[in-house]
Amino acid sequence: MSGNYDVIVIGAGHNGLVCANILAKKNRKVLICEARENCGGLVEESITNFVPQIPLSVSSSLGGLPVKYKAKSTIALSESGQHIRLVGNQHIDHKVISGFSSKDADRYVEFHDKMSSFSKALGSFMMASPPRIMNNTFSDYFKLFKLGMNVRMLGKKKFNEFARMIGLNIADELEDNFENTLLQGLIAHDAVLGSNLGPRSPGSLINLLYRMATHDNSIFGGIYEIDGGSKAFVDTLLDISNKNKVEIKTSSSVKRCITENDKAIGVELHSGEKIYAKKIISNADPRSTYFCLLGTENLDTDVKRRIKHHRSKGKVAKLSLSLNKQPEFINCDKNDLESRMVIAPSIDYIEEAFNPSKFDKLSMEPILEMKLKNSDQSNPVLDIQVQYASYGAQEGWDKIKDNYVDAVIKLIGKYAPDIQSCIETKTIVTPDDIEKNFYVSGGHWHHGEIQIDQLFMLRPIPGASQYRTHLDGLYMCGAGTHPGGGLTGIPGKNAAQAILEDA
């Protein structure tokens, strides 16, 4: 391939595509190198279940993103059939919860208001590039000051409450507020989803706030399914790329970054081909970006330490069961089956499931988030996110995979007794598979834990925030950067802005 490019994006994940298109719209000549045959990265039916909506700021900078979303309600399954059904609307949810406990219902509204105001205060911070204190510039200090003010403006009482809660575990807060264990379990599930934390791990509360900030500032609202599935979403992005004349080279994995005078000037593919550009952007995870693209021989020891200590062990597996008929879930109607179904009956249950994962082992009673696709057709598919399916499990995924799948199915059988007889095929994608097939080291959804020491200006590592790496001309736009994973496109958009600022 000839012709020099302005920008090469490594990886055609959704953030890479968003970033490439924003730059192409600003008349940059952009090439995307994708290692896999397909674009979209982790935005694939085999990985993604429910998604938040792409924020307006991202879709508008792409010139509109014609993707249709279907809002989803949530149902917390109970073995006894006493399910809780929540839609993300406070009035309706209040009514539902008061059916179990009027005290919980009132508390829920209070709790929701409080959390929602906190997540709103974080909100503007979530959308923008984080400040970089090392820069010592006015605008960076101002950003930090603004965040401080946003929280302070909530009033003294709420400010104190925020300070109290920021490092708190979600279990303590839920047990202080609610008596219904199923409701506790459901909220705790959302707080730990995708992370390496249990409900009693410090910092699990900020995880929930973080999730709310991208989910319409609501605990159970802002949960969507893409009309037409992940494929429709990726195809839309590819259509836009086509219009913006973004070139995409698939099956072209990048071996390393080519440098000159300590500046990135191009990439070398595994095929040996060299392509040059003014700027290189990595959609890969931080570890791959630093250790493979930048190369260990070009890193300071301190940076190696930080990357080595960067926590990015994935904990979620996706199990897909194709069925020959719709399974009978106890006490569930058609509407319930179209909801997001969660199996996390109590905080203690989640914590028990979490315990073995601390030692990289597997719990045979994990927590599940399920989606029944094509429920009205003859070939429904049950998509299940299985949490605490540890990356690099000690038992060895090769050996235990079948047993693990059977355990999950047995677990679902408690809620849908006939599930066993409905199953045609079973496919599981473990974090190890994600690492292998999607080139994400650790197989983590977010390319790195969402925890307080890996957030904001500390994301992915100190000294590499604001989408720039330690190498001049090499940028990052993946989920490993602020504000993290989830189908939001914000890292991609912010990275594009950083590059435009530097130009």
Interface residues with another protein (CB under 8 A)? 262, 291, 295-305, 308, 463, 470
How far is 357 from 496, CA to CA, in rounded Å? 37
In the complex with another protein, the residue whose CB is nearer, 139 or 261, is 261
Mention every residue, 6+ apart, whose C-beta is less than 8 A from residue 327. Answer: 382, 416, 418, 419, 422
We find the least distance from the C-beta atom of residue 410 to another protein, in angstroms, to be 43
We find the least distance from the C-beta atom of residue 202 to another protein, in angstroms, to be 25
How far is 48 from 71, CA to CA, in rounded Å? 15
We find the least distance from the C-beta atom of residue 272 to another protein, in angstroms, to be 21
We find the least distance from the C-beta atom of residue 19 to another protein, in angstroms, to be 25
In the complex with another protein, the residue whose CB is nearer, 263 or 361, is 263
In the complex with another protein, the residue whose CB is nearer, 302 or 376, is 302
Extract the runs of DSSP E, i.e. beta strands, from 150-303.
224-226, 247-249, 254-260, 263-269, 274-282
Using the CB atoms, write b or e for 215-248: b if 16+ within 10 Å.
Answer: bbbbbbbbbbbbeeebeebbebbbebbeebebbb
**Secondary structure (H, E, C), 384-441:** EEEECCCCCCCCCHHHHHHHHHHHHHHHHHCCCCCHHHHEEEEEEECHHHHHHHHCCC
We find the least distance from the C-beta atom of residue 423 to another protein, in angstroms, to be 45
In the complex with another protein, the residue whose CB is nearer, 202 or 463, is 463
Residue 274 dihedral angles phi and psi, to the nearest 5°: -115, 135
In the complex with another protein, the residue whose CB is nearer, 184 or 259, is 259
We find the least distance from the C-beta atom of residue 300 to another protein, in angstroms, to be 3
In the complex with another protein, the residue whose CB is nearer, 99 or 295, is 295
SS3 164: helix
In the complex with another protein, the residue whose CB is nearer, 10 or 307, is 307
What crossing angle do the helices spanning 229-243 and 14-25 adopt, rounded to 10°? 20
We find the least distance from the C-beta atom of residue 299 to another protein, in angstroms, to be 8
